[in-house]
A and B are shown apart, each in its own frame.
Chain A
Amino acid sequence: MQLYSIAQLTPRVVGRACSALLRNTLQVNQVRTATKKAAGSKTHMQDSKGRRLGPKKQNNERVKVGQILIRQRGTKFYPGENAGIGKDHTIFALEPGWVRYYLDPFHPKRKFIGVSLDRDTPLPTPHFEPRRRRFGCVELTDSWQASREEERMSRKEYIAFPEILSEKAKRDARRIAKADFYKKALPEFVELSGEELDIAAARMVSVEAMVRGGKSLEDARFYTSYNYGYDKSLEVQRGELSAASAESVKAQYTEIAEKLDAAVVLDCRFKLCKSLTEAETEATRNDILAQLKATEQTPLNAELKAHIASLIDNQVFDLSSRVKLRRRFLKPVASEPVGIVQDDKKTRAVIQRWNYKENKVEVIQRSQEAFGVN
């Protein structure tokens, strides 16, 4: 009965257990597993047939792609230039050419078999020389075949293609809409004729895209002009435009660009604004700050909040100063001295907050005005 459970353990554990038992000279119940050794077998006279190993191509012999150069057990030879190795260490040619058996100074203990692309070039190629490469591709001269091959898509591309097209269509539509928007908006800031307006709108679309992409306004303007000029010089290169007319077109563009840049800017939220001089900017900023400071003592309500927000969202402030101003003038809770606890229970508001210094929850009672709720 007891033997049974021991036999269920793995034989290795049982073996260890038994040896431990033997040493301890305690009574041992020997376990015998149900094994019977098989009859002995003849071990001599074993030999396999020849595996037909050995070199299949000699030095300087001409080979085609994929021809086997040597069959071997282990890497008696290593694959050199333009030769590959299989999982049974068979070396084969990767390019057509002439077989070379050679030594490489970087692996002094190895022998290599490679394929030279020329009859006379020895291997290995000197270490710092450019590699000798065969192009090996065949041009499709038949126009039908060529166009079919050009249109052929990989499976991945084929699956993605409709989406790519639709995305492109959407993007183009967005660009057109943007251009239309600028065509409508720009006359407010700058006087432009019909053709000039088209150019200006296109410029603004490009500038906005670049600014949104992370460039500064100056860089965006510069690269927009640069792209225009570059495209024009390419037109000249193609012969579609004469050099002289290209110059005049460029000059016209520069004129429009200067006019436009002097009139409009994009603020930090990419909103189209009138360009201000430094003095004007300073004056506006001071004016708004004064207005904001005037609101500081008045308790907030929804109307006032909207008014302050509209004041802050002005082109004269950049993103970080807008955040600072919001923190200062649009506090969710007014600073402590304003709206101290009132006895009137109807207008009282209670909040709980965590006191980090003392590690406990504080209950704060304030007037509702302090929260801008009325």
Chain B
Amino acid sequence: MLGYRSFSTSSVSLKVGCAMVKPVHHRVKVIKKLLSPRFPELKLSPTDPRSPKFRPEITHQDRVQEHIHNTLRSDLMLINYIHGEKPAEGLKRRQWDFTSPYHINRPARPPKGEKVPTPTIMPQSWKNVPGIEKVVVHSFVANCTSDPKLNIGVSLQLQQITGVKPQSVYAKTNLPSFGLRKGVKMGAKVELTGRDASQFLSTLTELVLPRITTFEGISNRAGSRYGTVSFGLKPEDVLYFPEIYYNQDAWAKRFGMDITIHTTAQLDREARQLLSGLGLPFVGTEREPKLTR
């Protein structure tokens, strides 16, 4: 406990020795915030336009989402429908059998041959048709170790392209040979959801990717196995974003970015199918995951 400084001697004697929550005798939940007369505007719900947290969100039509819902979803369900398919059980953590009293509170063992459990893949039905969850755009700049000012440029570039305020990313590991220390700012990222994500995806498919001469398609092998697809853009490719392209003088220094598209698909195969419907091309051979049904 921190001692606090004061001139009064009584404050020392008033210092409490312990904190105790007294059990109450009723079942009414008392929200102290609502009883206090202070900050009346903070008691309002964020959906209330009088609240400072209110943001008018639905301002435009979301063409990408509409396309997914009107055109893609029913096709996706019908393409992936296999009659009489059974759920493919994922690997789960192994529980102890409690033959010994020491098993109580012992953490469960990881699945056999794996470190982390894998999800159970359910057969396609009308309830689990994939959709876009979010898009993460991430720029890691290695030169930030020597020139920390670059962080500002990276953030600004992401903000200009996506229209969303970026967060900084920090070095996770300590690599003294590269001059990298843990906790140093190394770039920025943005998480796009809803209309921002749709806007970004349509810019990407309509304006940026078609103009990259070297781009053949997203690798069919890129992905997290469970419905997340990612690919990268080089600094010279970033030029084709209209926000950069029409103001090239201001963007002497450009930064590459990694784009990760999170979908609600259960497998990468389904995620790629969904994204192909949005105009993203894929190349290479696709690996089929081994599932035991």
Contact = CB atoms under 8 A, between A and B. Distances in A.
In the complex they form, whether A and B have CB atoms below 8 Å apart is answered with yes
Interface in B209-242: none
Given A23-B146, A24-B146, A78-B20, A127 B25 contact: yes
Contact of B18 (A23, A79, A127): A79
A75 B17 contact: yes
B12 interface: yes
A89 interface: yes
B17 A89 contact: yes
A40 interface: no
Nearest to A88: B17
Interface of A is mostly: loop
A370 B40 CA distance: 48
- Identify the interface centre among B13, B17, B146, B179: most chain A CB within 10 Å of its CB: B17
Contacts of B179: 23
B30 interface: no
B146 A85 contact: no
Contacts of B25: 127-128
Interface string B110-145: 000000000000000000000000000000000001
Contacts of A357: none
Interface string B5-26: 0000000110111101001010
A85 B12 CA distance: 13
A88 B12 CA distance: 11
B17 A85 contact: yes
A106 B23 CA distance: 7
Nearest to B12: A87
Interface string A124-161: 00011000000000000000000000000000000000
Count class of interface residues, chain A = 10 to 19
B17 to A, nearest CB: 4
Given A23-B179, A24-B146, A87 B15 contact: yes
Given A23-B179, A24-B146, A85 B18 contact: yes
A18 to B, nearest CB: 15
A127 B25 CA distance: 8
Interface in B1-53: 12-13, 15-18, 20, 23, 25
Contacts of A87: 12-13, 15-17
A91 to B, nearest CB: 8
A162 interface: no
Interface in A250-294: none
Contacts of B23: 106, 127
A106 B238 CA distance: 61
A86 B17 contact: yes
Nearest to B25: A128
Contacts of A128: 25
Interface in A151-184: none
A85 B25 CA distance: 24
Nearest to B179: A23
A332 to B, nearest CB: 36
Nearest to A112: B20
15 contacts: A23-B146, A24-B146, A75-B17, A75-B18, A79-B17, A79-B18, A85-B16, A85-B17, A87-B16, A88-B17, A89-B17, A89-B18, A107-B20, A127-B23, A128-B25
